[in-house]
Structure 1
Amino acid sequence: MQARMNNPAMLLPEAFTSIQALLKAVHSVDVPAQILELVHLRSSQINGCSFCVHYSAKQLKQAGMSDDRIWSVAAWREAPWFSDAERAALELAEATTRIADRGEPVDDELFKRLTEHFSEEQIAALTLMIGVSNMFNRINAVTRQPADATF
């Protein structure tokens, strides 16, 4: 697949700066970077964004995550390699990414599970990371950014 155009975030420097500031804010919160990358990977898998799936898998590998864990993100419910906190975050990623598929995207039970592992600030960071992931997925789908693209 060949890209239709350059990534819009790169074409509009003010947009890129704003996105970078948002990501910096998300990463400034005390949420393990691997969990942030796991939710990015799961959202990207759901949306079929090859660029983001490839990027996330590489980031997780560089951070020392095992291949078993990386390969099993799509089947996190059945895979034995995820903590309860990671499972809650991955469930949030799925619910937030599939927001139109449910009456109430994040029900009270899921939110309760999240609060057992994360503070309000951490849940905010996770939610913003998932939102940014979905934004990137949509941008990359429209512009057909290939998995091996660089920017």
Structure 2
Amino acid sequence: MSRFNLQKHFAAVQPLLTLTKNIESGSLEPALINLVLMRVSQINGCAYCLDMHSKDARAAGETEQRLYVLPGWREAPFYSERERAAFAWAEALTRLAPNDPVPDALYEATSKHFNEKELVDLTLLVTTINTWNRLNLAAHTVAGGYKPGMFG
């Protein structure tokens, strides 16, 4: 059961919704966005977000195989180098290791696949889904009721 209903507090989350929509209509391709949203939500264990983003990804044509194997992306042959760079960047920004959370080597590797605008958008995407994950985890938002495109 939910602790509180985020939809009832629309005014409070409106700036985050606007940021999310701006990022999703920006410079990154929708398939990459969906995979990054899934990967970060997997790391954070947000069932509501996993339910939502898996449904949106499937509705947009993403394959079940790529969704199922996403936690093992490093060993799987069916993700592009650009996707791999995005996943590595997303994982570093989500886990924030002590001392050197986003090392220069990771930045250099990622910037080979993303221009500056795309890298800013990717960073905003990762930080935004981390916020949504934390909001839904705090609220105990119940997974399962989301329909593709429900909020957009």
Distance across 1 between alignment mates of 2:51 and 2:35: 12
- Normalised by the size of structure 2, how large is the TM-score? 0.90
Which residue in the other structure is 2:76 paired with?
Answer: 79
Question: Quick check: 1:126 aligned with 2:125?
Answer: no
Output one character per residue of 1:73-131: Cα deviation in whole Å (capped at 9) or x when no partner: 111101111000000101111101101x3321211111112111111111111111111
Task: State which of 54, 59, 67 in structure 1 corresponds to 2:56.
Answer: 59
Which residue in the other structure is 2:134 paired with?
Answer: 138
Taking every aligned residue pair, what percent have the same amino acid on both sides? 35
Which residue in the other structure is 1:45 paired with?
Answer: 42
- Normalised by the size of structure 1, how large is the TM-score? 0.90
C-alpha contact (below 8 Å) 1:31/1:122 kept by paired residues: yes
Distance across 1 between alignment mates of 2:59 and 2:131: 24
Which residue in the other structure is 2:5 paired with?
Answer: 6
Which residue type is aligned with residue 113 of structure 1? Answer: A
Q: Which runs of 5+ in 2 are unaligned?
A: none
Secondary structure of 1:12's aligned partner: helix
Which residue in the other structure is 1:93 paired with?
Answer: 90
Which residue in the other structure is 2:143 paired with?
Answer: 147
Aligned length: 147
Q: Which runs of 5+ in 1 are unaligned?
A: none
User: Could you list the runs of 4 or more consecutive aligned residues of structure 1 that deviate by over 3 angstroms after TM superposition?
Assistant: none
Counterpart mapping for 1:25-40 below 5 A: 25-40=22-37
* Higher alpha-carbon deviation: 136-145 or 13-22: 13-22
Distance across 2 between alignment mates of 1:126 and 1:115: 11
Distance across 1 between alignment mates of 2:34 and 2:46: 14
| Two-structure CA RMSD over aligned residues (Å) | 1.5
